[in-house]
């Protein structure tokens, strides 16, 4: 498929043939003529591979697209169209790569969608959303106790770069696919396109989409609930601490905090994207500066600091969980790192609002991961130098009630100044970072819900993909926070049930990351056509590394974390993820297979 560009000054004729890019020789002569002058048309050869389809473009130029496919490629496109599960088959990848000028909206139309969201995000804004969701301050702070318990300093210091390197492989593989298909649907759309030649392509999209959106909802739930718990700890320390008669909020107060946080996130995400872009960039700056302030201030203030030998070599085996295998302990300690390094698919979900999306979307993914790895490692090192007595930090009888990193901050300032007020201020810095993390998570959730419902995959889809006058998918925003609130309610009855549900935030989300990558390196290996960002001959290798890493952590993070195993200590991750798979599969077999055909074009004409 070749794109030629003529200005709309009058009647134009597009005739003749173009040199074939793939074989270097002229294709058979073919042409069709455009006599529609003075207008803005995007003409796509579709429907029988010969008849042009007219689509309205949003710029002042006429793009004329001519079919020039080999017999094999043509048969492949006809096969897609015949099965009906790839309604976007006419959007040839070569045309997507070739569109220029107002190319973002043109490429989106070539993928089968009309632009409905305001495209106002720069590469910095796109990066900021993912970086704020990854939020090393959020992940490391909330799971610092887990890292200390399972392996301690050695697990955190060395486990972080290990998890980071493999996560970067996942991100690189995702970025390559994102560059080829820059849509808000992200991963489920990628699965549909990469499995387009298979009769089960729609099921691949269905499975990927539901794992992705439920995983995102679980991320929002866990992030905002973590903030509610941190607020509880701040109040506890601010009123004297656990040993000084401080106020410990009940679980009902914590859930009320959680609801209030979600409500505020919904309000902010209902604002125009230009305002949200400002919040996103401010959030990224806050996360970056917050890390540097904390990693320098806390160990500097502490009167007793750990030695370099302790930080880089001490391996804690006194975990109180009945686990004695060093390898097993190290693996469980990786949860802190892997839980933190999630959510960077947000850059893909924001591509319909990002300028130069096929370049800036992938940059957003890779830069969010890369910078988070560097910044996060520095944060871990800085805080670990302020760690001395691991058993005391993990004890529920300390002033912070067992919240390890809060106790580190509190003790550092109390030992120097006789008051832990400075530590509480540091916790405030963390709280703001977590707040922005949740805000950005809702942003990503809502775009995924918007795209998934646009393709009719969700109950009441016609409601959720509506946009308001500011071009914001406002109904999807409120859906996302409502689901996140409901997912937190089990915490009122059983923390075990709640933890099982939010475990989908890591494993469920990573499964949705791995599925399109798997399809890319297997089914679509020979016919995948990359965008501006591509890994070249290393694409398959990086993709396989990513898939194998996800398979590995899926198994490892489903292992028991305490022995002996009882109903109260069982790791319910496998149950939660397996339950989600059962529900998704059942809904497909009983209903969706009859009507869900994958991504559906919403273009008129």
User: pLDDT tens across 136-192, in order?
Assistant: 999 999 899 999 999 999 999 999 999 999 999 999 999 999 999 998 888 999 999
The reply to whether 104 and 129 lie within a common domain is: no
Of residues 215, 279, 165, the one with CA closest to residue 515: 215
Dist. CA 357–CA 52, nearest whole Å: 26
**What is the model's pLDDT at position 68?**
35
CATH number of the domain bearing residue 402:
1.20.1740.10
Sheet containing strand 2-7, strands side by side: 2-7, 61-66, 41-46, 51-56
Please give the helix or strand (H or E) that residue 201 lies within, else none: helix 201-238
Q: Do the domain assignments include residue 67?
A: yes
Q: Do the domain assignments include residue 360?
A: yes
**What is the model's pLDDT at position 463?**
86
Digit-coded pLDDT (tens) for 495-543: 777 777 777 788 889 999 999 999 999 988 888 888 999 999 899 999 9
The reply to whether 103 and 129 lie within a common domain is: no
The reply to whether 353 and 473 lie within a common domain is: yes
Give the residue ranges of the chain where pLDDT is below 50: 1-101
Q: What angle do CA 213, 217, 221 make, to 5 degrees?
A: 170
Q: Do the domain assignments include residue 313?
A: yes
Dist. CA 490–CA 408, nearest whole Å: 30
Please give the helix or strand (H or E) that residue 63 lies within, else none: strand 61-66
Domain finish residue from 48, 75, 110: 110
Of residues 541, 571, 544, 543, the one with CA closest to residue 558: 571
The reply to whether 178 and 303 lie within a common domain is: yes
Q: Do the domain assignments include residue 238?
A: yes
**What is the model's pLDDT at position 168?**
97
Q: Do the domain assignments include residue 116?
A: no
The reply to whether 255 and 333 lie within a common domain is: yes
Q: Do the domain assignments include residue 45?
A: yes
The reply to whether 277 and 368 lie within a common domain is: yes
Residues facing 43 on adjacent strands = 54, 64
Domain finish residue from 110, 144, 177: 110
Digit-coded pLDDT (tens) for 400-456: 999 999 999 999 999 999 999 999 999 999 999 999 999 999 998 898 898 889 888
Domain finish residue from 85, 110, 135: 110
Residue 353 is given by DSSP the state G
The reply to whether 209 and 351 lie within a common domain is: yes
**What is the model's pLDDT at position 102?**
65
Q: Do the domain assignments include residue 318?
A: yes
Dist. CA 284–CA 280, nearest whole Å: 6
Dist. CA 38–CA 8, nearest whole Å: 5
Structurally, how many domains does the chain consist of? 2
The reply to whether 486 and 529 lie within a common domain is: yes
The reply to whether 173 and 306 lie within a common domain is: yes
Q: Do the domain assignments include residue 243?
A: yes
The reply to whether 129 and 104 lie within a common domain is: no
Dist. CA 181–CA 183, nearest whole Å: 6
The reply to whether 82 and 178 lie within a common domain is: no
Please give the helix or strand (H or E) that residue 396 lies within, else none: none
The reply to whether 198 and 60 lie within a common domain is: no
Host domain of residue 80: 2-110
């Amino acid at each position: 498929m070749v794109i030629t560009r003529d200005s709309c000054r009058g009647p134009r004729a597009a005739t003749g043939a173009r040199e074939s890019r793939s074989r270097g020789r002229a294709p058979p002569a073919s042409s069709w003529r455009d006599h529609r002058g003075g207008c803005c048309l995007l003409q796509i050869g579709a429907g029988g591979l010969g008849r042009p389809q007219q689509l309205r473009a949003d710029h002042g130029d006429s793009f004329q697209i001519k079919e020039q496919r080999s017999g094999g490629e043509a048969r492949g496109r006809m096969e897609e169209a015949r099965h009906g599960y790839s309604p976007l088959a006419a959007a040839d990848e070569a045309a997507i790569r070739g569109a220029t000028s107002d190319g973002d909206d043109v490429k989106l139309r070539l993928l089968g969608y009309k632009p409905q969201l305001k495209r106002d995000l720069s590469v910095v804004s796109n990066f900021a959303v993912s970086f704020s969701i990854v939020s090393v301050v959020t992940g490391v702070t909330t799971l610092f106790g887990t890292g200390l318990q399972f392996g301690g300093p050695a697990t955190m210091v060395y486990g972080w770069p290990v998890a980071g390197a493999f996560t970067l492989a996942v991100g690189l593989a995702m970025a390559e696919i994102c560059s080829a298909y820059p849509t808000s649907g992200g991963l489920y759309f990628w699965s549909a396109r990469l499995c387009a030649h298979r009769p089960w392509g729609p099921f691949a999209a269905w499975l990927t989409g539901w794992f992705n959106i439920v995983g995102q909802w679980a991320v929002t739930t866990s992030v905002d609930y973590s903030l509610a718990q941190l607020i509880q700890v701040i109040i506890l320390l601010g009123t004297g601490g656990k040993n000084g008669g401080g106020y410990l909020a009940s679980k009902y107060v914590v859930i009320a905090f959680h609801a209030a946080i979600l409500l505020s996130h919904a309000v902010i995400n209902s604002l125009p994207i230009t305002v949200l872009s400002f919040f996103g960039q401010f959030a990224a700056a806050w996360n970056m500066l917050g890390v540097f302030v904390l990693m320098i201030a806390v160990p500097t203030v502490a009167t007793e600091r750990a030695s370099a030998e302790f930080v880089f070599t001490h391996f804690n085996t006194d975990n109180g969980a009945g686990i004695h295998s060093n390898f097993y302990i190290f693996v469980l300690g990786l949860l802190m790192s892997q839980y933190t390094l999630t959510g960077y698919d947000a850059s893909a979900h924001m591509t319909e609002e990002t300028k130069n999306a096929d370049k800036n979307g992938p940059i957003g993914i890779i830069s969010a991961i890369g910078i988070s790895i560097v910044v996060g490692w520095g944060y871990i090192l800085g805080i670990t130098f302020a760690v001395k007595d691991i058993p005391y930090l993990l004890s529920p009888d300390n002033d912070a009630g067992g919240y390890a990193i809060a106790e580190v901050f509190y003790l550092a300032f109390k030992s120097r100044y006789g008051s832990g007020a400075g530590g509480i201020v540091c916790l405030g810095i963390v709280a703001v970072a977590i707040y922005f993390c949740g805000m950005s998570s809702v942003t990503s959730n809502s775009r995924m819900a918007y795209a998934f419902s646009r393709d009719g995959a969700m109950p009441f889809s016609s409601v959720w993909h509506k946009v308001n006058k500011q071009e914001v998918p406002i109904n999807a925003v409120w859906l996302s926070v409502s689901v996140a609130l409901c997912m937190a309610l089990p915490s009122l009855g059983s923390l075990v049930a709640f933890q099982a549900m939010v475990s989908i935030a890591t494993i469920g989300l990573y499964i949705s990351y791995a599925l399109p990558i798997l399809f890319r390196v297997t089914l679509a290996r020979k016919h995948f056509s990359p965008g501006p960002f591509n890994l070249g001959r290393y694409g398959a290798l990086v993709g396989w590394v990513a898939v194998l890493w996800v398979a590995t952590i899926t198994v490892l993070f489903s292992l028991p974390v305490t022995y002996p195993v009882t109903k109260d200590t069982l790791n319910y991750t496998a149950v939660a993820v397996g339950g989600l798979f059962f529900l998704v599969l059942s809904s497909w077999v009983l209903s969706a297979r009859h009507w869900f055909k994958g991504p559906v074009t919403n273009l008129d004409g």
